[in-house]
Amino acid sequence: MANYSKIADQLIQVIGEDNIESIAHCATRLRIIVKNKDLIDDKKISDIDLVKGQFFTSGQYQVIFGTGIVNKVYDQLADKGFAAKSASEVKQEAIQREPAHKRAMRFFSDVFVPLLPAIIATGVGLGLKSVLLNPAILAMMGLTPESVPQPLTAFLAAVTETAFVFLPALVCWSAYRVAGGSPSLGILLGLMLISPAFPNAWEVALNPDVNAIMLFDVIAWQGYQGSVLPSLVVGLMGAKIEKRLNKVVPDVLQLILVPILSVSITLFLALSVLGPALQVVEQGIGFVLTGLADIPFGIGGFIYGLFLQAIVVTGMHHIITMFEVMLVSQTGMNPIIALGMPSMAAQGAAALALAYRSRNKKIRAAGIPAGATVYLGITEPAIFGMNLRFGIRPFVVASIVGGFGGMAAALLELAAQGNGISMLPGILFYTYDMHQFVSYAALMLITSVVAFVAVCLWGIPKKMLEDYPADVERKSSRNKPSTKKSVTESNVETA
């Protein structure tokens, strides 16, 4: 049975008792706010029993233990007198230490991550809808698309369309909340952006008989159906206006004046200034991202697949979520997540390759679940717990394979019907077309096999191999007489 008190003592010894400011934990990781990260020896942390990996991000030194273990180590550290705080409190402490660009990335993450369940539900719903209403499947039941009962089609439409119809309200609410405003005012402002009082943006764009409302015959007012960037900025601005009004309006009048003034001022600015300008920017970004998959010979896919996981390491990948949501809302398709899928498969296969080549039970125990987790759509355990843990070579080799996989995805013209999940769960996003479905599954499998072999051949760090007792013994037996122990063999036995 593991000695959790001993593990806690070893952590304290390596990190430094005076270097620990506060501790918290999530489902799998111990989160530690430290005064000086440079005082910590990562290798010594990795050598501690039950540690599956470690990394430093967002101002926190995070040690991966796994579910059911991390809370026991946390309890031991708390019993030893270290300041125990909630994960949210530690997160806020870490945010205050981050530079401005990191805080900006954090804002994007905090806005869009809470929206992912709704967006994922819509995408999975679209996949199931594609299966249920597939003419071939309906024919097996003696039905045609026209004969599907209306209650069923109405139900499926509600499940698959609502999130994107009210997307501006969701984004505005989340941005308002993260910026410290009243969430109810955020969702109210978001609903105002798509109010039927204003001409529908889709109808203005597609129907010549529908015109925007003109202010002073110069500024066009219309709804912002399907918008993301305008809703994000409007939510942020609305929260700041509300907080500013709370400071200048007398307390006795705040409940009456602040809500109406904040939403009215924000809505006017949104319709007159921010909305039109940001909509142009949004359309330009959508054009660039869509064009990435259209660059000849799949070059755009190669570039994206090559660098995506490096972006994940920096934590800037959350901003990509906003662009993906924007693409799905505007076009109904998301080629970006398809270009990135091979890079995820490659990192997962790399972690499994490291575990396969290892003779170290601890490394194998960490590598197999880390690699398997990638196929559920989460790459961080594989990247930080394995592929960067023993040097950069496994990560680089996997990234190169992921680049070629991204090129193949571009050439195959893969595109999902949603975003938020990838790998095996994400296969539902491609059920709308058999070519897409088969190509996605085949590309995931082929990329995984190629990355596994490539990492085994070229991605295993020499230093890592030298730490394997079996490999060292084989080298020693070739270079030294069998009747006399070599220095290397003695060191192995001592270790």
**How do residues 39-52 score in pLDDT, each as one tens digit?**
898 888 888 888 87
Query: Nearest 5°: phi and psi at 62?
Result: -115, 125
137-196 pLDDT, tens digit per residue, is 788 888 887 888 888 888 988 888 888 888 889 999 999 998 889 999 999 999 999 998
Amino acid found at 343: S
* Sheet order of strands, 29-34 included: 20-25, 29-34, 60-64, 53-57
Ranges in the chain annotated CATH 3.30.1360.60: 4-98
Lowest mean pLDDT among 25-39, 54-68, 98-112, 118-132: 98-112
Alpha-carbon 292 to chain mean position: 20
Is the pLDDT at 1 greater than 70, yes or no? no
Residues designated catalytic: 26
What's the pLDDT at 248?
A: 93
- Per-residue confidence (pLDDT) for residue 269, from 0 to 100: 94
For residue 267, is pLDDT > 90?
yes
pLDDT of residue 236: 93
- Across the chain, what does the average pLDDT equal? 82
Name the pLDDT band for 66 (thresholds 50, 70, 90).
Answer: confident
* CATH class of the domain whose range is 4-98: alpha beta
